[in-house]
Amino acid sequence: MSEPTSPAGTVREHAREEMRRAIVDAGRARLATDGPAGLSLRAVARDVGMVSSAVYRYVPSRDALLTALIIEAYDALGEATEEAETQVDRSDIVGRWRAIGSGAREWALEHPHDWALIFGSPVIGYAAPADTIPAATRIPSLLRDAQEAGVRLPDGAVDAQLRRTIGPVADFFGDAVPPETTVRGLMAWTWLTGSISHQLFGHRHNVVDDAAVFFAAELDRMADFLGLGRRER
């Protein structure tokens, strides 16, 4: 049986968590000015009024701070898309898809530096650890729900080499989603993040007059590509 935590221990732990929170928040603020590649624990320590050697008691390395920021960004994006998606009737698969896409886009526009951290240029020398995977896969997945709701998902032939290639995602879905739909789902996610990034980073400027209207049209066409509106007869 574990020993109860003393009041003094609780106060120390609370103070430690508050300081770690301040360091992570300062790191996020630095993303806006220095970018992920320029993130420095020395600069973050100055921002929170701490000597650089002391910050390592709370965050052991620059990479650990990057990891914390990435996890929080993915979780925040996941929360935003979940909140948007839950506002739509469960039977409206296409509507839920639109809500996920729109929720992700709105979050990106409100948090451009966090979006750039998780979907922008990789930071040289940094490799995201497995800790980031649960948060990164938090975006609601409609494919299993669509199959259970009687949507006739794409089920064309997929060659053996491609089946092996998509193995990790196919294992996640099991028999609930056809392999062809798994391929299209990965393509749709790549399109979704790419389309949002194109707008966020200015690549739609002087290309379309209304990025929101164009994005809505893209969402509808990608819903068709995924077969989300086709019901079994």
Question: How confident is the model at residue 33, as a pLDDT?
Answer: 92
Taking the model in full, what pTM does it have?
A: 0.87
Express each pLDDT in 148-203 by its tens digit.
888 888 998 999 999 999 988 888 888 888 999 999 999 999 999 999 999 999 99
Q: Is the pLDDT of residue 46 over 60?
A: yes
What CA dihedral angle connects 169, 155, 88 and 209, to 10 degrees?
A: 90
* CATH class for the domain made up of 88-226: mainly alpha
Domain boundaries, the chain: 88-226
Express each pLDDT in 120-154 by its tens digit.
988 999 988 888 888 887 776 788 888 888 888 89
Mean pLDDT in residue range 81-104: 94
DSSP string, 70-134: HHHHHHHHHHHHHHHHTTS-TT-HHHHHHHHHHHHHHHHHH-HHHHHHHHSSPPTT----GGGHH
> What's the chain's Rg over C-alpha atoms?
21
